């Protein structure tokens, strides 16, 4: 791997393009939770490094109560291979400083916290009955451009977690209470940080309770400070999403994933970006099984 630079505060820190701790936790998680049944014999854990992403793929789908919507939440864990989990919990790392699998359910939350500390985008998860795939984008969130954008909001006293949450929202990534909890914040602190972004007029809360998510407040929301708008240039995939929605009138995430053959996390990033651009509108809260997407009136008029 090559080395990259990340901006922290007023300084710049050199690091490997993917933190070693992230790679270790993803590989351990894949080996620990993969399917070892006779039906999966011959299938291997795969680790693929591309110019724009790191992918770790393991045989067997999500197990127990875990699914793509809650994978990595601090309070969600299921062990397919309990005996192996106990063995790895007693196996030291080569430097002898840690155990390979120290605490049940701690691996993916550690990945979130480490990527957050490195100023990188969070991982994306895709799973079906055959495999689980984790993709770590090669994206530095806190670039000079993003930091200039945050400073341009004219808001004093934003915490590091709030700055990174805004960077995620600007990139079209869904932010929830669990996102900040994954960075190591107490649930009550995570709620206060996000509520403060709403109070400042920077974000809008969508849904309630466990299904609540946040998005950038549009400049068209009256009575609140205007947030600089995202660029309206569409990627080829985003244009394809709009075309599919236009033809069908209303399309669910599952239908879009199948039609485009892309990971669920990648789709949600694009959909959230289109929502922030004012081109798509969801028909239900983020956690609802009935959630689908349709074109906004502005998008219909424009296109």
Residue 231 domain-assigned? no
Report yes or no: 157 and 197 within 8 Å, Cβ to Cβ. Answer: no
We report the CATH number of the domain holding residue 127 as 3.30.565.60
Residue 230 domain-assigned? no
Both 211 and 108 in a single domain? no
Which of 77, 103, 137 marks a domain boundary?
137
Query: What average pLDDT is seen over the chain?
Result: 78
Both 35 and 93 in a single domain? yes
Domain extent, residue 58, equals 3-137
Both 95 and 19 in a single domain? yes
- State residue 193's pLDDT score: 94
**pLDDT tier for residue 303 given thresholds of 50, 70 and 90:** low
Both 118 and 164 in a single domain? no
Exposed, middle or buried by CB within 10 Å (0-12, 13-18, 19+), for 66? buried
Report yes or no: 120 and 27 within 8 Å, Cβ to Cβ. Answer: no
Q: Find where tokens 């996390």 sit.
A: 265
| % of the chain surpassing 90 pLDDT | 14
The whole-number average pLDDT for the span 82-100 is 77
Both 48 and 88 in a single domain? yes
- State residue 189's pLDDT score: 92
The whole-number average pLDDT for the span 169-198 is 85
Both 49 and 103 in a single domain? yes
- State residue 228's pLDDT score: 46
Both 124 and 14 in a single domain? yes
**pLDDT tier for residue 256 given thresholds of 50, 70 and 90:** very high
**pTM for this entry:** 0.52
**pLDDT tens figures, 192-201:** 999 999 998 8
Residue 56 domain-assigned? yes
The number of folded domains in the chain is: 3
d(CA 219, CA 226): 4
Residue 104 domain-assigned? yes
**pLDDT tens figures, 199-242:** 988 998 887 766 788 988 764 343 444 444 444 457 888 889 99
Q: Find where tokens 């028909």 sit.
A: 283
Both 45 and 25 in a single domain? yes
We report the CATH number of the domain holding residue 173 as 1.10.10.10
Both 172 and 129 in a single domain? no
Q: What angle do helix axes 144-152 and 160-170 make, rounded to 10 degrees? A: 100
């Amino acid at each position: 791997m090559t080395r990259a630079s990340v901006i922290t505060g007023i300084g710049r820190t050199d690091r490997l393009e993917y933190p070693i701790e992230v790679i270790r936790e993803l590989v351990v998680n894949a080996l620990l939770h993969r399917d070892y049944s006779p039906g999966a014999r011959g299938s291997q854990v795969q680790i693929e490094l591309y110019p724009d992403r790191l992918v770790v793929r393991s045989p067997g789908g999500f197990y127990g109560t875990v699914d793509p919507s809650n994978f990595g939440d601090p309070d969600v864990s299921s062990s397919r291979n309990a005996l192996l989990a106990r063995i790895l919990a007693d196996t030291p790392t080569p430097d002898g400083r840690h155990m390979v699998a120290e605490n049940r359910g701690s691996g993916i939350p550690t990945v979130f916290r480490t990527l957050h500390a490195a100023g990188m985008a969070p991982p994306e998860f895709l799973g079906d009955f055959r495999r689980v795939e984790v993709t770590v984008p090669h994206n530095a969130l806190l670039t000079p451009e993003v930091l200039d954008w945050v400073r341009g909001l004219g808001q004093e006293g934003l915490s590091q977690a709030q700055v990174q949450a805004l960077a995620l929202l600007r990139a079209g990534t869904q932010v929830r209470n669990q996102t900040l909890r994954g960075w190591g914040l107490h649930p009550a602190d995570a709620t206060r940080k996000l509520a403060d972004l709403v109070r400042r007029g920077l974000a809008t809360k969508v849904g309630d309770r466990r299904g609540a998510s946040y998005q950038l407040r549009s400049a068209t929301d009256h009575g609140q400070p205007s947030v600089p708008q995202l660029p309206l240039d569409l990627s080829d995939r985003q244009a394809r999403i709009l075309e599919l929605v236009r033809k069908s009138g209303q399309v669910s995430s599952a239908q879009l994933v199948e039609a485009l053959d892309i990971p669920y996390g990648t789709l949600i990033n694009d959909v959230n970006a289109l929502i922030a651009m004012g081109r798509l509108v969801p028909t239900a809260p983020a956690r609802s099984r009935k959630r689908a997407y349709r074109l906004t009136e502005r998008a219909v008029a424009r296109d």
